[in-house]
Amino acid sequence: MNEKPPNSASRFLNKDTEKPTLPDKVELRRRFRRAMEKRAGSMRQRIGSISRKSLKGFFRRNLFVLFTVASVALGVILGFALRPHNLSMREIKYFSFPGELLMRMLKMLVLPLIVSSLVTGISSLDRRASGKMGVRAVVYYMVTTLIAVFIGIVIVMIIRPGKGSRDSPAVKTGNIEAIQATDAFLDLIRQQLKYYILPSAIITLEETVPVSGSSAGVNALGLVVFSMCFGLVIGNMKEQGHALKEFFDCLNEAIMRLVAVIIWYAPVGIMFLIAGKIVEMKDLAEVGGQLGMYTVSVIVGLLIHGLFVLPLLYFLVTRRNPYSFIGGLLQALITALGTSSSSATLPITFRCLEENNNVDKRVTRFVLPVGATINMDGTALYEAVAAIFIAQVNDMELNFGQILTISITATAASIGAAGIPQAGLVTMVIVLTSVGLPTEDITLIIAVDWFLDRLRTTTNVLGDSLGAGIVEYLSREELQNQDADLRNSVIEENEKPYQLICQDNDTLNHLNNETTM
């Protein structure tokens, strides 16, 4: 009874339907030809869909980016073409004047932009949301700065660019009083709490004062602290502070419209800035021989931090493509490369984040001014590399404690560095004196500092922008809750009966009359 029927394994083949026959070679060729014709037809349709109108739209959307990239290339070509003519310093100054105009126009907007953006950004947030957002931003700034310093130290210890750079020891002339690291740290704190916040708007007389570690210009740290406190007060004033908040909103909008006009002059200014710096350079062979490996060390560190570490951190937090985000920042990054000032690039950074990457304005207005002032990843990396390079040039072996001191002071000095060109040279004094290195050896790196300053400024702007994206992602719940509360308040006001609104208005008028009496 357990025997299987014959041919049980092929019971599905014993039906009336015939076994399907395999197609012959002719049929296979016909099918292959038909599939290829179909694919070619779809490709022709795609190519045909790219019309002149779509190409014009692409160039119109990316016109400024294309102009800016072309200006950088033209600036390099023009600079090297003019080098053989040996222009005088006066001629170079005249030649660089269009670039100087761009710097002045951008810096003109920095002070009102920092104040208006911070005040409007913080006043539009509630106290809890602004507190959490501030903590997240500061944690991000500290973590990325420490990572940048660590990368710089590792790179310079591996490459060792200072070994063999100097044939004879430096000649020390005169007795220079050492600057205490404690005084340098205290000065950083003093800069945040100056009793005057608008020195550049009041003082018009320029005077050269040989004070080590100081820089003229806007007291950015003091402005940030004052604007944050002012914005918190306006936010807590509710209806009483509404008029003042509207004023700063209008001021911020007016500045951004000025930026929209100035931005079209930026390619011209960037071209002359880069060309002027190339013409101003001394002997390229001498610079390459003495500082070539030092320059390579800084560039490698900045590339690792800017193209791998920061995008990886952005991806780990947001799970989004960081390079598409960076693509929207191309205008700001090229402007930073040309101006070498993160503060001067701030107006364009606002525009890129809000229009290209759709970052919430409440986040950009709060995070970007603070980041442009205290988040200097590229500067911290550069200062760590430069300090160890100078130690290697002087045949000084640094122990672990001294390297740790360089890490801490480079982080603190980068926070205190102003967002102006070559501010890192000023704060370099703090790093060198913390481990007893000769401060006069800063002159060794001045020859290439103009170029490295542009690269580290680009890294600073990139770090600020990615930080704004990370803070927005982490603060999305607070922002959504605030939007929901705002919508609910508007709905409640719209649904209020007309009679009740009239009663409320009569009550307010009655109270106002009693107050005036």
What is the structure's pLDDT at 164? 58
Residue 398, pLDDT > 90, answer: no
Indicate whether 4 belongs to any domain: no
pLDDT at 155: 93
Q: How far apart are CA 227 and CA 416, in angstroms?
A: 17
Tokens of 129: 């949301």
Rounded mean pLDDT of 375-397? 88
pLDDT in tens, 189-201: 555 544 444 444 4
pLDDT at residue 376, rounded to an integer? 87
Quick one: pLDDT band at residue 342, thresholds 50, 70, 90?
A: confident
CA angle 117, 123, 129 (to 5 degrees): 105
pLDDT score recorded for residue 314 = 95
Establish if 338 belongs to a structural domain: yes
Q: Could you tell me the pLDDT band of residue 32, with boundaries at 50, 70 and 90?
A: confident
Quote the pLDDT of residue 402. 87
DSSP 344-399: HHHHHHHHIIIIIS---HHHHHHHHHHHHHH--HHHHHHHHHHHHHHHHHTT----
In the predicted structure, residue 414 carries a pLDDT above the cut 60: yes
pLDDT given at position 260:
77
Task: Kindly report the number of other CB atoms within 10 A of residue 284's CB atom.
Answer: 12
Q: What is the dihedral of CA 452, 455, 460, 466, to 10 degrees?
A: -160
Cα-Cα end-to-end distance for the chain? 114
Stated as kind and residue range, the H or E segment containing 170 is: none
According to DSSP, residue 165 is labeled: S
Domain contains 509: no
Confidence of residue 214 (pLDDT cuts 50, 70, 90): very low
Mean pLDDT (the chain, rounded): 75
In a domain, residue 409? The reply is yes
Of 319, 382, 372, which Cα lies nearest the Cα of 347?
372
- The pTM of the full predicted model, rounded to 2 decimals, is 0.66
What Cα–Cα distance (Å) separates residue 491 from each residue in 125, 365, 480, 484, 497?
20, 27, 16, 10, 12
Q: Flag whether pLDDT at 317 surpasses 90.
A: yes
Q: Residue 57 pLDDT more than 80? A: no
Residue 149 placed within a domain: yes
Least confident of 77-91, 302-316, 486-500: 486-500
Alpha helix segments (H runs only) across 446-497: 446-474, 476-495
The answer as to whether 9 is a domain residue is: no
Q: Looking at the predicted structure, is the pLDDT value of residue 217 above 80?
A: no
Q: Is residue 500 part of a domain?
A: no
* 264-298 residue pLDDT tens: 888 888 888 888 888 887 666 655 555 788 889 99
- Report how far residue 333's alpha carbon sits from residue 321's, in angstroms, rounded to the nearest whole number: 18
- Most confident stretch, 188-202, 215-229, 373-387: 373-387
Residue 222 structural domain: 61-166+177-202+218-446+457-483
Which tens digit of pLDDT belongs to each residue from 202-213? 444 444 444 444
Q: How many domains does the chain have?
A: 1
What's residue 212's pLDDT? Answer: 42
CATH number at residue 370: 1.10.3860.10
Mean pLDDT to the nearest integer, 172-193 = 51
Who has greater pLDDT, 252 or 20? 252
* Of the candidate ranges 20-34, 302-316, 368-382, 397-411, the one whose mean pLDDT is the lowest: 20-34
List pLDDT tens digits, range 81-140.
988 888 888 888 888 888 888 878 877 877 787 788 878 877 776 677 777 888 898 899
Nearest-Å Rg of the Cα atoms of the chain is 31
The answer to whether residue 51 is domain-embedded is no
Mean per-residue pLDDT, 134-155: 92
For position 151, what pLDDT does the model report?
A: 95
Of residues 429 and 451, the one with the higher pLDDT is: 451
